[in-house]
A and B are shown apart, each in its own frame.
Chain A
Amino acid sequence: MRVFLYILLSGCSVGPWAEEAVLTRSLSTLTPRGDGAVDGAAYSALAYAAPSFEAVDVDGDGRLGPAELHELLRTQDPLSFDGLGPRRPFTPKRWSQNFNTDQGVRERRAVLLFIRAELLNQKPGAAVASEAELSQRALSVEDSDRALFSLRDIYLSHNLRFALELTP
């Protein structure tokens, strides 16, 4: 009788919106067959920067159960679950650190040399900086930006279309 009254009054233990019912439904989305049977192997295929299956399978029954899924949902913040942590504000210093790398220089140099080649292809003899000079200017972000704008100006001075819309 007491159990019956508890079930009747608590509201959270039965019914289609009981936590267990909700999570059982969600488990069905985790397996290709839709049966919700997530064992250790299935979990490994899904897991990403998360606790091991042994740590997640609290009751040790070899399957991810509704309560265990709830714990995963409750404890992993979608904004930082991958270990990257909250994003740091992007400061000029960080910008400089990120882009004054070898890769950044290579990339900027490739852009400048490509646009130079394009320009000379369309307008042979155009007064454009040499490859060596542009390579040198690619070493710094500010210099390569200025070079990019000057290349655009040359494009425009010859009434050529410049594909990139640049903003200072």
Chain B
Amino acid sequence: MVRSLFNRLCLGVAAWLCGCVVQPTTPPPPAVIVVCMDTLRADRLGPYGGSGRTPNLDHFATQSVVFTQAFAQATETLFSHAVMFSSRYVSELGPMDYRFVAPKDTPVLPEVLSMYGVNTAAFVSGGHMSEAFGLDRGFGRYTVVKDWGSLFHTAPAALGWLAEQPKDQAMFLYVHGYDAHDRYLKPTPFGFSVADKKHRGPGERAALGRSATTRIMDGLLYNRRQFDQVFDISGFRPRSVSKIKDMAVEGRALGAIPFSAADEEHIRGLYDGAVSYGDAWFGLLMSGLSAEGWLDRAWVVVLSDHGEELGENGVFSHRMGMGPQLLSVPLLVRPPGGTVGRTVDQTVGLIDLMPTLLELFGATLPAISRGRSLLDVWSSPKGAIEDKVVFAEGAMGQITAMNNAKGLTFGGLPWSSPQLTELLGTARLDGPAFEAWEGTDEDEAQTLRSALYRWRKETPLFTGEAGELDEERIRILQMGGYWGQR
């Protein structure tokens, strides 16, 4: 009797165990969380040469694939996101000014994912990401938590939404914050964690106000001027820097205040404090994801839409230049459960985000897309992808080709000019129309120039109608210091 019971028990346990082992399991559909840390320069992160200001991002890197040569295709939030969401260049989508509206006739990432039944949501910090600019198209839920806000605003909102989502469904979540954007001064204790609180000088003034740092130019702070009185009509670089500088220095005529090297260092310190502040909030977001079990379930992508010039070309801004400080961006991808951190040194672009995520979700990439999937990093035997030249377009009409930390910018004519390709092909490489990044030799510049020429020749320009610069857009732009306030 006892033996019989024992045998039955053994059989039962064995059957249960077998059931456990052979039970066919279906992997859950993909879940992806993209965290965009606006205006974060790549070189502030450890894997990109940073010096300990971003311990949480650096820890994230140890669990991720780090793309060391990732470049943005535009230097402002609105345009860079339009590229990321459509995998097309801005010049194909609309005018690169604030009449731009995310295109309605081009498939965008959230829209395609929604067609495949993916649950999509975004928690963003408004500004250029507000609905007025059309980047919300295709998302099942799109919440502007706070205009020009940070992860302080969006991370808790995103975690709150995630807590209500089933984990067995395909899901795409986009979280965005302007933590490293001006104004750089962030709350205690991060605001002055690098910059000296006791610093006295005009650098202090740049700590306050949304548009103060963008009015620093060539060692001068144009403190009380409106954009249209200092900058050229497009709201960017003044037509004659030396003239304005002379006027300001000799006559203080424009109310410009000379900056010392210590002032500039102070501003850089404030930026670094903002970077650490954003890193802390990123860490808290990861903590929330971990606590809710999402880190074992979801891919997490961290990126920035563009960098920031911190005095390198006389400005503290991301509107004017096309250098590596602006175009080199962090791009880190952590698969579910994490991986052994490693780097991929081939050149990639943010334009590759949409193809990568669509392949991950098993969705078809629209034929019109310009990017390529980066999933070969996981699927190819060598874990590598092909190297490739990527391009960027600037708000002042410049175009840049980039490969392996080398870059060449052409600014001889705006990219919208019909004579562009002709001049691209004929202008002297050492003339004023071209500017090579530091470390780019003549042969490399020539290769990049050929790539620019081919790319521009093959990529059609936008010919449709621009959107309207309505009152709502101007209101949002004014809040962020992107528009004169008169």
Which A residues touch B277, using CB under 8 A?
78
Which B residues touch A111, using CB under 8 A?
253-255
Q: How far is the CA of A23 from the CA of B52 in the complex (A)?
A: 14
Which A residues touch B152, using CB under 8 A?
73, 77-78
Chain B 262-292: CB-based contact to A (< 8 A → 1; otherwise 0): 0000000000000011011101101101111
B449 on the A face (CB < 8 A) = no
- A115 in contact with B239 (CB, 8 Å): no
- A29 in contact with B188 (CB, 8 Å): no
Which B residues touch A78, using CB under 8 A?
149-150, 152, 179, 186-187, 277
Partner of A87, one of B52, B149, B479: B479
* B37–chain A nearest beta-carbon distance, Å: 14
- B55 in contact with A81 (CB, 8 Å): no
- A25 in contact with B55 (CB, 8 Å): yes
- B478 in contact with A90 (CB, 8 Å): yes
With A73-B152, A82-B185: A29-B52 Cβ-Cβ less than 8 Å:
yes
Partner of B240, one of A64, A90, A163: A163
- A26 in contact with B191 (CB, 8 Å): no
* B124–chain A nearest beta-carbon distance, Å: 15
Q: How far is the CA of A41 from the CA of B37 in the complex (A)?
A: 31
Q: How far is the CA of A107 from the CA of B478 in the complex (A)?
A: 23
Which A residues touch B254, using CB under 8 A?
111
With A77-B152, A79-B149: A12-B291 Cβ-Cβ less than 8 Å:
yes
Q: How far is the CA of A48 from the CA of B193 in the complex (A)?
A: 11
- A47 in contact with B286 (CB, 8 Å): no
Q: How far is the CA of A69 from the CA of B280 in the complex (A)?
A: 10
B192 on the A face (CB < 8 A) = yes
B224 on the A face (CB < 8 A) = yes
Q: How large is the interface on A (under 10, 10 to 19, 20 to 34, 35 or more residues)?
A: 35 or more
Q: Among the listed stretches B90-98, B227-235, B359-367, which one makes contact with chain A, having 4 or more residues with CB under 8 Å of it? A: B227-235
Q: How far is the CA of A28 from the CA of B289 in the complex (A)?
A: 22
Which A residues touch B255, using CB under 8 A?
107, 110-111
- A72 in contact with B189 (CB, 8 Å): yes
Among residues 150 to 191 in chain B, which have CB atoms less than 8 Å away from a CB atom of chain A? 150, 152-153, 179, 185-191
* A78–chain B nearest beta-carbon distance, Å: 5
Which A residues touch B239, using CB under 8 A?
163, 165
- A22 in contact with B240 (CB, 8 Å): no
With A77-B152, A78-B187: A22-B280 Cβ-Cβ less than 8 Å:
yes
Which B residues touch A69, using CB under 8 A?
189, 280
With A30-B193, A45-B197: A107-B224 Cβ-Cβ less than 8 Å:
yes
- A47 in contact with B189 (CB, 8 Å): yes
With A12-B291, A23-B283: A30-B56 Cβ-Cβ less than 8 Å:
no
- B479 in contact with A29 (CB, 8 Å): no
Closest to A168 in B: B228
B139 on the A face (CB < 8 A) = no
Which A residues touch B188, using CB under 8 A?
46-50, 72, 76, 81
A127 on the B face (CB < 8 A) = no
With A78-B152, A107-B224, A115-B253: A28-B287 Cβ-Cβ less than 8 Å:
no
Which A residues touch B244, using CB under 8 A?
163-164
With A22-B280, A73-B280, A161-B240: A50-B187 Cβ-Cβ less than 8 Å:
yes
With A38-B189, A78-B186, A87-B479: A26-B208 Cβ-Cβ less than 8 Å:
no
Contacts A48-B191, A73-B280 known; 10 new A-B pairs at CB < 8 A: A18-B290, A30-B276, A78-B187, A78-B277, A81-B186, A87-B210, A118-B247, A163-B239, A163-B240, A167-B233
Q: Which residue numbers of B lie inside 8 Å of A, CB to CB?
A: 52-56, 59, 146, 148-150, 152-153, 179, 185-193, 197, 208, 210, 224, 228-233, 238-240, 243-244, 247, 251-255, 276-277, 279-281, 283-284, 286-287, 289-293, 295, 475, 478-479, 485-486
Which 9 residue pairs of A and B lie closest in terms of their CB atoms, listed nearest first? A22-B283, A12-B291, A50-B188, A163-B243, A114-B253, A76-B187, A17-B290, A25-B55, A114-B251
